[in-house]
A and B are shown apart, each in its own frame.
Chain A
Amino acid sequence: MFFALLMYGAALVFTVGVGWRVFIYARTPAPLKIPTTPAPTTRTGVWIRMAREVVLFESLFKSNKWIWLFGYLFHASLLLVLIRHLRYFTEPVWGWVALAQTFGTYAGFAMLAGLFALWLRRIVVQRIRYISNLSDHLMLWLLMAIALTGLMMRFVAHTDIIGLKMFALGLLRLDIQPVPADPLVLAHLALVAGLMLVFPISKLLHAPGLFFSPSRNQVDNPREKRHLAPWAAKLESK
């Protein structure tokens, strides 16, 4: 019961929290045209630029090949792992989710490796150590702990996966089922809940933030089209 409430609470905080941030970002005007140029001159072009950033991490690739490699490894693996986890929330399991099973399983290792490499950079590279706060380390540890507990359930100490799926489906169907009393399961769930709770108040906001970054999402057409924010319009000489 406690875990069910925890998961509901975390999901609520995550959704409302991130939704609120997105609302604030959307509400705040960008008074000036500041795309980093060369920039696309059409909306379609901006969609393509944004897609390249989201899918390929293009700017990061230009910037630093190591950070790109480790960061990409982590994020791509995380995506596969999340897709694989859909099997615990669908009955019957969707075909393409079943297909991703093997990739998703081993992606767990890649995810852990990527995170560990990123953390290693954080302590070994002098410049990055300088800019790191305790929270930056904790975030990586949290993610590594999630990956590690997950992998252990799969490869070291098999858990009651049927029971766990009952619990997960129960959450979705508002028909609460008991959670398997396996410390690994409980730890894994608690850590994931923790991640969802800190998401809206931490640097994990980079995920929605990217879509609202004026230097990336603005069209380069200031001469053709007049751009005026509401508060700036009030300054217009009457």
Chain B
Amino acid sequence: MAKVEFETPKMREYPVIPIIHADAMAHSQPFVASSQHQESLGFPGQLVDNWKEVAIDKMGELLTKYRSLKVYLDSCVKCGACTDKCHYFQGTTDPKNMPVARQDLFRKVYRRHFTFAGKYFPRLVGAEDLTEQVLGDWYKYFHQCSQCRRCSVFCPYGIDTAEISMAAREIMDTIGKGQKYCNEIIGKVHKIGNNLGLPEPALADTLQGLEEDIKDDTGFDVRLPLDVKGADVLLVTPSADFFAEPHIDGLIGYAKVFHQAGISWTLSSYASEAANFGMFIGSYDQMKKIAERVRTAALELGVKRIIVGECGHAWRVAYSFWNTLAGPFDFLDPRYPSPQHIIEFTSDLIDSGGITLDKEANDNRIVTFHDSCNVARASRMGNLPGGQFELPRKVIKAACNHFVDMPADTIREKTYCCGGGGGLLTDDLLELRVKGALPRMEALKHVVDNNGVNNVAAICAICKSQYSKVLPYYGFPRDMIVSVHQLVSNAIVLGDKQ
């Protein structure tokens, strides 16, 4: 692949709304899926001849299936409240990365074909036919949206651009113009069980190696069980946890927590993936198929609980959608929420004294926390709204003496995406990923400069990979990013309870 030349945006002392530069990112688009990747998901191998008709038909179908799409397309008044809220707009200054302008790429075609004003007065309301040019814009700019929902927080009608970019991607898949990264990965999940395409023997081998590492490190026989029937807990975690840094340190953390709590658990080789890229491409069918693997595995292994590892969009799918897609989970122990997040699990153990943490083990760290967008704006933890903000912070503070939050308008429900979510974590979009990270990096710099922060903790596999990649572009060390359960792993006191 030809190396794309681009400049890393300069970090601004005070974030200001940038001046727009038309087409600043018009050159950015991901690789198109090959016919093999398309067809394995039941999509056409390449752009079909009558793609315009097929696309409009599909749009009509989606409008009757998704209230969100219909209402959001009708309701926008172009007030401009969202225009400065997207990290990709801030980092690229391309006006088509303003949420409303991104929606309008879709809305103008909707208006042309499905509204009175657009059919008879297209110029007046900015309605346009779906031309090759418009399709090109769709492919580029609906792959410059990480579906992070930050715009939906600020919209007076709650219009969520993610819903529109999901619909656009589904239409593009239907006409044969899918994205390689997502569709290739979904194919691997169907075939092998995880995004990486890591088969059972390799997974078993990896886990065994980790057990040996932990033994060398701590002297304790902490297990990472695979396909153990009759275990209490099925842990479903993003497959990046099996090999990537710092993800794997988080996995070790989960294992130590289970070990110390004395709760039997297992991973599944059949459902060895928490991630569900079906959401990114807006496909209910794909999302359902992937989610059903978890149900099947849980039934086969006869577990009583399902716990989900550190992954942002996976937790959205698990928390918000699993019950719908693959439920009801009435065969699990009703005393526990299903599914449960590993943070909820660890938090309960901290409260009950089931595990003991020695904060001093992390005294070399001053930690801040990155709220991952799908956890923050599309899910919950615990019983109270906002638990998704409180519980991870509580776990971090239980494991570390030094914790500092980033500026208030960049955390919690106002958090900025890491720049790599929504199916964009691919090297063919590296420029976009680096530029989209700008607001997050500025917020991080603020606490680095003012509070001496040297670690940022996250609970999302995509965030962790994205940080590892882009931190150096902004002059930060790559290993600054840590897993929350890596901090737990360092602090947990193994052995007999004191």
Given contacts A37-B379, A38-B388, A135-B117, whether A29 and B65 have CB atoms under 8 Å apart is yes
B288 touches A126 (CB 8 A): no
Bound-state Cα–Cα, A213 to B157, Å: 7
Q: Mark B112-137, 1 if CB is under 8 A from A, else 0.
A: 00011100010111100000000000
B116 touches A125 (CB 8 A): no
* Min C-beta distance of A36 to chain B, whole Å: 5
Given contacts A135-B124, A201-B116, whether A125 and B284 have CB atoms under 8 Å apart is no
Bound-state Cα–Cα, A63 to B324, Å: 32
**Which partner residue on chain A sits nearest B279 by CB separation?**
A32
Q: Does A34 contact B (CB under 8 A)?
A: yes
Name the contact of A25 in the complex, choosing from B19, B71, B377 (C-beta under 8 A).
B71
Stretch at the interface among A53-61, A143-151, A165-173: A53-61
Q: Does A138 contact B (CB under 8 A)?
A: yes
Given contacts A131-B101, A212-B67, whether A60 and B328 have CB atoms under 8 Å apart is no
* Min C-beta distance of B307 to chain A, whole Å: 13
Chain A residues with CB below 8 A from B79, complex form: 60, 67, 71
Stretch at the interface among A93-101, A104-112, A202-210: A202-210
Q: Does B451 contact A (CB under 8 A)?
A: no
Name the contact of A205 in the complex, choosing from B74, B85, B100, B155 (C-beta under 8 A).
B74
Chain A residues with CB below 8 A from B386, complex form: 38
B78 touches A133 (CB 8 A): yes
* Min C-beta distance of B165 to chain A, whole Å: 13
Stretch at the interface among B168-176, B315-323, B422-430: B315-323
**Which partner residue on chain A sits nearest B339 by CB separation?**
A223
B324 touches A232 (CB 8 A): yes
Bound-state Cα–Cα, A132 to B104, Å: 10
Q: Interface size of B by Cβ–Cβ distance < 8 Å?
A: 74
Stretch at the interface among A3-11, A83-91, A186-194, A214-222: A214-222
Residue from the set A34, A62, A206, A235 with the largest chain B CB neighbour count within 10 Å: A34
Chain A residues with CB below 8 A from B81, complex form: 59-60, 63-64, 67
Q: Does A162 contact B (CB under 8 A)?
A: no
Q: Does A181 contact B (CB under 8 A)?
A: no
Bound-state Cα–Cα, A210 to B20, Å: 29
* Min C-beta distance of A173 to chain B, whole Å: 32
Chain B residues with CB below 8 A from A125, complex form: 80
Given contacts A38-B388, A206-B75, whether A223 and B324 have CB atoms under 8 Å apart is no
Chain B residues with CB below 8 A from A228, complex form: 324
Bound-state Cα–Cα, A228 to B19, Å: 44
Q: Does B149 contact A (CB under 8 A)?
A: yes
Q: Does B472 contact A (CB under 8 A)?
A: no
Chain A residues with CB below 8 A from B72, complex form: 209, 213
Chain A residues with CB below 8 A from B124, complex form: 133-135, 138
Chain B residues with CB below 8 A from A210, complex form: 75, 156-158
Q: A32-B320, A203-B77 given. 11 additional CB < 8 A pairs?
A: A28-B63, A28-B70, A125-B80, A126-B20, A130-B101, A131-B98, A209-B75, A210-B158, A212-B67, A214-B158, A216-B157
Task: Pick the 3 closest A-B CB pairs, nearest first.
Answer: A209-B75, A63-B154, A215-B158
What are some 13 contacts across the A-B interface (CB < 8 A)?
Answer: A36-B413, A53-B156, A60-B156, A62-B154, A64-B81, A71-B156, A127-B84, A131-B95, A132-B78, A210-B75, A214-B71, A214-B158, A215-B159
